[in-house]
Homo-oligomer: A and B are copies of this chain.
Amino acid sequence: MSKTDAPPLWVDLPQFRAGMRRLAGAVTLITTSYQGEKQGLTASAVCSLTADPPLLLVCVNKSASAHDPISESNFFAVNVLAADQIGMAQVFSDTARTAERFKMGDWTTGITGAPLLKGALVTFDCEIEQRVAKGTHTIFIGLVKGVHLGENPASLIYFNGSFGTFGSLPPG
C-alpha cells in the first residue's frame, strides 16, 4: 500500500491549533478541593450540555495537576472570569506559580465543597455526574448544584492568543 496516495487521516497539529485559536471563548478557572488542598487550572473548554437536569461539561488534560484531585473529589466549580480578573487567568495557567493560586483573590466554599471565586462573572458549583475518558483528556460532566452571579457583568474572553472582552459589532 502506498502511503503517499492515501488521504491524510486528519489534520496536523499546527493546522488544528491555528483553527482553534479562532474559537473565541470565556476564560474559566476549574477548581476543587481534595484532602484539604485546593487545586485548579485555567480552562476554556467548557460548555452547557443539558438544561433539565442542569449539566455542563469541561475538558481537562490528564497531565494537569488538578485533574486527579477533580476526579477523586467528585466535585468542581467553574469560575467564569470577569474582565478585571485577567491576573487570575495568568496565575492559574502558569505551572511555575502553583503556590500563588489560591492566595490571590477571595474564595468561599460552595455546597459541593468546591472553592468559589468572589467577583467572578458567574460560578457553577458542580457534582461530577459522569467522566468520559478520551485520549489525553477527560470530559467531566457536572450536575450544577449552585449558581452564583457576580456583580461585574463584563466577561473576560480569549481569542486569537489575546485576552479581551465583549464588544459591540461595527455598525452595518
Contacts A50-B136, A54-B10 hold; do A165 and B167 have CB atoms under 8 A apart?
yes
- The stretch among A33-41, A90-98, A101-109, A149-157 that forms the contact with chain B is A149-157
Interface residues of A (CB under 8 A from B): 7-11, 13, 15-20, 22-26, 44-57, 59, 80, 83-84, 86, 111, 121-122, 124, 130, 132, 134-137, 139, 141, 143-147, 149, 153, 155-157, 159-160, 163-170, 172
Do residues A50 and B137 form an inter-chain contact, with CB atoms below 8 A?
A: yes
Do residues A157 and B166 form an inter-chain contact, with CB atoms below 8 A?
A: yes
Do residues A55 and B134 form an inter-chain contact, with CB atoms below 8 A?
A: yes
Contacts A167-B167, A170-B83 hold; do A10 and B144 have CB atoms under 8 A apart?
yes
Distance (whole angstroms) from the CB of A46 to the closest CB of chain B: 7
Do residues B160 and A164 form an inter-chain contact, with CB atoms below 8 A?
A: no
The distance in angstroms between the C-alpha atoms of A50 and B132, with both chains bound, is 13
| Other-chain residue from B52, B146, B153 in contact with A160 (beta carbon distance below 8 A) | B153
